[in-house]
Every structure is written in structure tokens, then in C-alpha cells.
Amino acid sequence: MAGSPSDEREPRSVRTRPDRDAAPLRGLEPPTGRTPETDAMQSLSSRRRGGVSVWQWPLVQRALVDAVRKLDPRWMVKSPVMFVVEVGTVLTTGLAAKQLLVGPRTDLPFVLQITVWLWFTVLFANFAEALAEARGKAQADTLRATRTDTPARRLRDGREETVSSSDLRRGDIVVIREGEIIPCDGEVIAGVAYVNEAAITGESAPVLKEPGTDVRSTVTAGTQVVSDWLRVHVTADPGHTFLDRMIALVEGASRQKTPNEIALSILLAGLSIIFLIVVVTLAPFSIYAGAAVSPVVLVSLLVCLLPTTIGALLSAIGIAGMDRVTRFNVLAKSGHAVEAAGDVDVLLLDKTGTITYGNRLAAQVLPINGASPAQAVQAALWSSLGDETPEGKSIVALAGKLGQPVPPEWDGLDATRTPAGAEIIPFSAETRMSGLRFNGRVWRKGAVDALYRALDRAPSADVQAEVDRIAREGGTPLAVAEGDRPVGLIYLKDTVKPGMRERFAALRQMGIRTIMVTGDNPLTAATIAREAGVDDFIAEATPEDKITRIRAEQEAGHLVAMSGDGTNDAPALAQSDVGLAMNSGTAAAKEAANMVDLDSDPTKLIEVVQIGKQLLITRGAITTFSVANDVAKYFAIIPAAFAATYPELNALNIMRLGSPQSAILSAVIFNALIIIALIPLAMRGVAYRPVPAAALLRRNILIYGLGGVVVPFIGIKLIDLIVQMLGVA
């Protein structure tokens, strides 16, 4: 690594024992001290993991205030159905005021009750949307609490100066030591340390950060260094950090409507116009029949026939969908991305850092020249005890799995301490080897040609055949020697992350085809694709190849999702319908994508797709329920409004409601209360099950269609009984 921070002795680097990862890492536990920043971020993380309860009083209080503010007609006009309801409510309010001030007051109690419940209908609709927004704003407020000035050690002309984090600018260099909060977004350029990212990802295990890799070189403001030190290049000015973007993204109120939501809004607007025309024409017909129907009854009829339930909950469903992906540690930049995820059927994944770790890790130790497997593994272990590179650490880990644990003399020691008599042979560009001398013995490992040249010999035909095989498969062969005798080959390869095959199998069951994209040669790509279990792969891919494939899939009628983390993935992420960037990836990738996964798990798209499907299913279910409601309301309102003029309509009073006024009042009350009753369903969403669309449609019609007919019959009848018992109508 590069040099240590100025005015500070060379800090120790982190020695890990990958073979002992199951045990706690000594000296790497997070500091016991707590700060407001970490407390607030931990609070946010726990909220994201478990979600924020819908009915928490602070959220309800906030939503009640916002519900009143949303009565502004300029806001209400965005929802055609509820705007019509508000206009009708204002009309009945005027009629009530006229009767109260001028008279006659013959049906004033009835008019006042209808007016009050119509206002409740409008307020409940606004409350549903405001409550969904309040949950997102609560997360944003928690984030804002963390956005305080943090002391930073900025390097200027080789010397440190303490400044506020708000004074840092893109291009500055800062040093962060153990126990300190990282003051900026940036790239690690020197040092190796563990960072507690629980504030961002919710995971308590510290994450290794070091320079030179896309996956582990980025750090985020508000996280904490828990061991050693880092030197970081600042990549974002104040106000443009990842934390600032998170605050903007979780503000559900700023979302854009999705195409399906716009289409449904147009449908609701059309229904509003149709029902408005129908109700308006009923007035002259009733006058012609000699029994004029009061405007209050006509407004009640209009409100009850309109699909007010879905009109009231439509925005809340969309906002709640964005909030649900946030609770899975995915930030969606728009509601369109969440909804589009529900229809995705093709997924492109970048190999390096997404499907694989992105580092060459030890996969096999092969004995050569008559050595036993145990001799080869032992030599590989001893030659790597002083090697702090990811490759060296992976060799130590593999040796432990193969029955060669870290020798007692070395267990628990860091890079600044070695047993007496031990001499580490450092890697150099000239020798292309590294190793260890200890107790009169020497172990070395390095490039095959370099090690054999140092031993003044040539590899045998069998050894060369193995070397060629490893190279053809895209791996990197290293030779290892004990003394003057080569005893083994170490097969380094880019390793597939655990559980990928099972995750891709789950995607396949959901009808999503997976395509791996890599710059590797076809042989290597085929090997990784086979291990990972993807459906197809693109080898030797350029950024242009990725975009071409995405466009071809889109032209074939598919919705394409792309998951990646590198700068070269940015164009494809921008072209795809759903672009999921890894938080550990480059700034360019995160800017191009419309979603960012804070856990850097590319297969998180499974949860995102499920949430997208859940959003669509929830909207469809509540729409079905809302339209089905009209059947019961029809049997309640129509006989009550026109039975006096047309006695034959009494046959439709199958609920046997007490009186025309109680029937109308009961229907209006039910219409208002059902909105409140369905808020939890809209916020939580209808459970998603990976079943065929036809089966899903049948299920929704059975539950929400039939339920939408039956529930109002029961609800209106019960309310009517209460109204009669109280004598209010």
C-alpha cells in the first residue's frame, strides 16, 4: 500500500485469517463509543429492515396535518375522482349553510350529516396518501439528523489540517483513523481498514476497505472506521453526497406517476365524467316525473357510484411500493422503476463484482513432481503467511479448509509482528515471487515461469499441461516451492459468490431469464456461467455489446433489468428498463441506474421484482374491490332516491334498509370508512405468490371481486341498523 498519513507512524495493516472467519476478528470489534450520527443511522437501518408501523402516532399526526393541506383544489385536481368528490362536498356544504342561515330546515340534520361524511371521505383519501408520504419523510428526517458537520483530517502539502466535513470539496484528500466517522463520499487510495457500514446497509459485520478494487474501494459519509486507517480521495461536494441523494429518494412525495398509474387515472377520470353526466341528467328526469330529487341526494349518489376507494388509495399504493423497496435496502429513484420491475423478464448481470467477487481467489492446490497433496497445501500455506494481498489471504483460507490451519506460531499475529527467526520475502515486480524463510526452511510462490527460472529448471510436460489448462479456463496458475523443489500449483480464479445458483433458479421460476455479461474469453465465460447457473452469457463484451443486447431484447417485447457496479456498466444501466447499481460500485454506475442496492447484492432484484409485482397486484385488487362496491351501493342508493317516484324500485331494496335517508347516509358513511379500512392493505400490499397470471386473476376476482360485493352489503346494513338505533336519520 501507499505510505502512511503524515505526522503519524506507519500504521499496522489488517491481518485477517480467512480460515478463521467464523470466529470474531480480534481487534476489529466496533468501538463502544456511540455518536448521534451512528445512532440515527442505526435507527434508520432498523426501520428499513423491519419497516415503520403505519399507525405510529408521529406519522399519523403528520399525515392528519398534510391531509388538511391537500384540500387545496390545485392539489386535488391531480386525482379526478377525489376532485369531483370535493366539488360535490363543497356544494352540499353550501346547501347546508343556506338552510342553516335562510331555511327551510326541514332536512337540515340529514344534509349536515351527509356533508360531514363527504368531508371525511375527502380527508380520508388525503390521509391515505399523506400517511404513505409521512413514512418516507420519517426516514428522510432520520437521515437529515445524521447530516451534521464531522471533523475531517484534510491533507494539504503533505500536512494534516482539521476542518469541518462541510469544507471538503471534490478532489480533497482526507485521512480517517480507527474509531472516526468517515466525513465524505470517496475512493480509498491508501490503507487497509474495516468499516462499519451498518448505518447504510443495516449489516453489523464490518467490511474490508482497500484501494484498487471497484467493490471495496468506495466509502460513504456517515460510516465508521473500526480498525486501522484509510486515506480517501473525496468524490462528492457537500449537498451531492450519497446521503443527500438518499434523502431526496426516500421523499415519496416527489415521485413521478408510473405509466400504469397514469392509464388508471385516465380510466378513473373517464368513469368520473360518465357518472357525472348520468347523475346530472337524473335531476331533470326527476323534475319531469313530479318528484324532484334534492341535490344532496344526487351528490351522495355520485360519490357512492364513483370508484372512490381506488381513487383515494391510488397514490398511496405507489408511494408504499417505493417505500417497500427502501425497506429492502434498495433506493428507487422513481415509481416507474418499481412498477417496471414487476414486468421484468430478462436480467443482465455483469460478472465481475456482481456474480463473482472480482478478485482472483485460490480455488485449488494441485500437487506436482511427486509431492503429496498435504505437502503441496502446506507449502502453499507457509509461502502465503506473510502475504497481505487478497490472493494471499485466500490461499491461507483454502489451506485451512483443506486441513492445514495457521501454525500456532503465526496465529493471531498482525503484519507488524512475526515469530522470531521468520523473514518475509516480499513480492516485487522483478522477481514476481513472494515467500517466507523460517527455521532454516524457505517457501516461495509466484508466476510459474519466474519460479522455475529462479530454480534454474524447466517445468515438466505434465506440469506445463496443467498450467495451460488453468490458463485456458481463465484462471491464473501460481507455482509453489519448498526449498529448491516445486511441489504444487495454485489455481487462482474469480470465484462465484455463494448462493448464486439457488438465486438464479428462483429467478427462473419467476419467469426471468438471466444473462451474464463479461469481458472474459468464451471458455472462461462458459465456466463461470455453468458454475453460477445463468441461462445465457455474453463473452468478450464491450459496453456497446451490452447496449445492443438490451435493445434487441426490448425490441422483442421484453422488459430488461441490468445489474452492475462498474463505470463500463453505466450505459447499459441507463438503457435498461430497470437499472440496479451496487452501492459498492462506481459513481457513474449509481448515477446511470434508477435503483441503488445498499447491500451490493445483485440478486436483490428478486425482492425488487416481487415488490413490483406486488404493487401491480395490489392496485388491481383494490380496483376490483372498488368497482365491485358499486353493486351494493346501487342497491342501497337507487331505491332510496327514486322509490317515492317509482314504487317498483322498492323491489331492489334487498337489504331492507330502514328509510331512504338512513339508506343514503349509511352508504355515504360506508364509502368513507372503507377507505380507512383499506389503508393497511394499500401500504402493506397484497401478498405475492409465484403463480401463473390466469390463476392470479381468478384468485383476485374471487377474493376482491366477490368480497367487494359482499362486504358493502354487510357493512351498509350494519351502519343502517346503528343509524336507526341512534335515531340520526
Catalytic residues: 350
Pick from 125, 64, 74: which is nearest to 316 by CA?
125
How many of the other CB atoms lie within 10 Å of CB of 520? 21
User: Do 37 and 146 form a contact (C-beta atoms < 8 A)?
Assistant: yes
d(CA 328, CA 310): 26
Asked if residue 104 has a cis previous peptide bond (ω within 30° of 0), the answer is yes
β-strand partners of 492: 362, 476
User: Do 67 and 123 form a contact (C-beta atoms < 8 A)?
Assistant: yes
Rg from Cα positions in the chain: 34
d(CA 286, CA 231): 82
Helices within 72-168 (DSSP H only):
73-76, 80-101, 108-146
User: Do 248 and 225 form a contact (C-beta atoms < 8 A)?
Assistant: no
User: Which residue is associated with the grid cell 365524467?
Assistant: 273
The C-alpha cell at 454 is 529462479
Helices within 289-307 (DSSP H only):
295-305
Distance of CA 284 to the CA centre of its chain: 55
Pick from 501, 509, 563, 503: which is nearest to 532 by CA?
501
**Secondary structure class of 479 (helix, strand, coil):** strand
The C-alpha cell at 206 is 464490518
Secondary structure in 3-state letters for 677-700? HHHHHHHHCCCCCCCCHHHHHHHH
Residue 656 Rama label (left phi>0; alpha psi -120 to 50; beta): left
User: Which residue is associated with the grid cell 503519524?
Assistant: 8
| Residues whose CB is less than 8 angstroms from the CB of residue 504 and which lie 6 or more positions away in sequence, other chains included | 514, 532, 533, 534, 535, 603
HSE-CB for 231 with a 13 A CA cutoff: 20
Q: Decide: residue 695, CB within 10 A, 0-12 exposed, 13-18 middle, 19+ buried.
A: exposed
User: Do 341 and 646 form a contact (C-beta atoms < 8 A)?
Assistant: no
CA distance readout (Å), 101 to 98, 112, 296: 5, 13, 17
Phi, psi of 251 (to 5 degrees): -75, 90
Phi, psi of 6 (to 5 degrees): -65, 160
| Residues whose CB is less than 8 angstroms from the CB of residue 666 and which lie 6 or more positions away in sequence, other chains included | 636, 657, 716, 717, 719, 720, 723
d(CA 91, CA 657): 26
d(CA 239, CA 234): 13
User: Do 636 and 663 form a contact (C-beta atoms < 8 A)?
Assistant: yes
CA distance readout (Å), 399 to 361, 495, 703: 12, 16, 58
| Residues whose CB is less than 8 angstroms from the CB of residue 89 and which lie 6 or more positions away in sequence, other chains included | 115, 118, 119, 121, 122, 299
